Structure 1
Amino acid sequence: MVEKFLHPMLALGLCVAPFLVSAQDAYPSKPVKLVVPYAAGGPADLLARSVAEKLGARLGQPVVIENKPGAGGHTGGELVARGPADGYTLVLATIAHNGAVALYPKLRYDPMKELKPVILLAEAPSILIVKQDMPVKSVQELLALARSQSGRLTYGSAGNGSAMHMAAELFRYMTKIDYTHVPYRGGAPAMADLLGGQIDMLFESLGTAHPHLKSGKVRALAVTGTSRSASLPDVPTVAEAGVAGYSSVPWYTISVASGTPASIVSRLNSEINAVIKAPDLAQRWDGLGIVPLGGNPADAQKRNEIETTKWSAVIKAANIQLD
Structure 2
Amino acid sequence: MDNSMRIPRWPLFGLVDTLAAIASQACADEFPSRTVRVLVPYAAGGPSDTGARLLSVPFGKALGSSVIVENRGGAGGLTGTEQVLQAEPDGYTVLLGAVGPLVYIPVSRTVQYSVKADLIPLGLIWQSPLVLVINPKRGIKSVAEFVAYAKANPGKLSVSSAGLGTNTHMASELFKHEAGIDLLHVPYRGTGAALPDLLSGQIDATISDVAVMAPLIREGKLIPLAVTAPQRSALLPDVPTMAEGGLPGAQTENWYGLLVRTQTPAPVVAKLKSALSEAVAAPEFRAGLAIQGAVIREPGTDAFAALIESETKRWTPIIRDNNIKF
Aligned to 2:153: 149
Deviation digits for residues 106-132 of structure 1 (CA, Å, limit 9, x no counterpart): 323333432221112221111111112
Unpaired stretches in structure 1, ≥5 consecutive residues: 1-16
> Partner of 2:291 in structure 1?
287
User: Runs of 5+ in structure 2 lacking a partner?
Assistant: 1-20
Which residue is 2:170 aligned to? 166
Of 260, 267, 272, the match for 1:263: 267
Shift of 1:228: 0.8
Pair 1:43 & 2:47 matched? yes
CA contact (8 A) 2:108 2:320 kept: no
- Give the number of equivalent residue pairs: 306
Any conservation in 1 of the 2:24–2:267 contact (CA below 8 Å)?
no
Correspondences of 1:168-183 after superposition (within 5 Å): 168-183=172-187
Evaluate the alpha carbon distance shift between residue 169 and residue 276 of structure 1 in structure 2; reply closer, same or farther with a 3 A threshold: same
Equivalent residues in 2 for 1:118-137, closer than 5 Å: 118-137=122-141
SS in structure 2 of the partner of residue 155 of structure 1? strand
- Partner letter of residue 182 of structure 2? D
- Determine the C-alpha separation between the residues in 2 that align with 1:31 and 1:144: 53
1:299, CA displacement in angstroms?
Answer: 1.8
Contact 2:126 2:295 in 1 (8 A): yes
Q: Does the CA contact (< 8 Å) of 1:103 and 1:161 recur in 2? A: no
Does the residue aligned with 1:156 lie in a helix, a strand or coil? Answer: strand
What is the deviation of 1:31?
A: 0.6
Contact 1:122 1:294 in 2 (8 A): no
TM-score, L = length of structure 2: 0.89
TM norm structure 1: 0.90
Deviation at 1:294, TM superposition (A): 5.0
Residues 182/18 of structure 1: CA separation in 2 closer, same or farther (3 Å cut) = closer
User: In the alignment, which residue of structure 2 is the partner of 1:76?
Assistant: 80
C-alpha displacement of 1:57: 2.1
Equivalence for 1:13: none
Between 114-123 and 32-41, report the one with greater CA deviation.
114-123
| Residue equivalent to 2:90 | 86
Return the match for 1:217 from 216, 221, 239: 221
Counting aligned pairs with the same residue, the percent is 38
Secondary structure (helix, strand or coil) at the match of 2:253 reads coil
1:302 aligns with 2:306: yes
Distance 1:37 1:216 in 2: 31
CA distance in 1, matches of 2:319, 2:74: 20
Determine if the alignment matches structure 1 residue 64 to structure 2 residue 86. Answer: no
CA–CA distance in structure 2, aligned partners of residues 142 and 20 of structure 1 = 58
For 1:116, give the aligned amino acid: I
Deviates more, 1:98-107 or 1:279-288: 98-107
Q: In structure 2, do the counterparts of structure 1 residues 229 and 33 end up closer, same or farther at CA, with 3 Å as the change threshold?
A: same
Superposition deviation, residue 103 in structure 1: 5.0
Pairwise CA RMSD of aligned residues? 1.8
Q: Return the offset for 1:21.
A: 4.3
Structure-2 residue corresponding to 1:316: 320
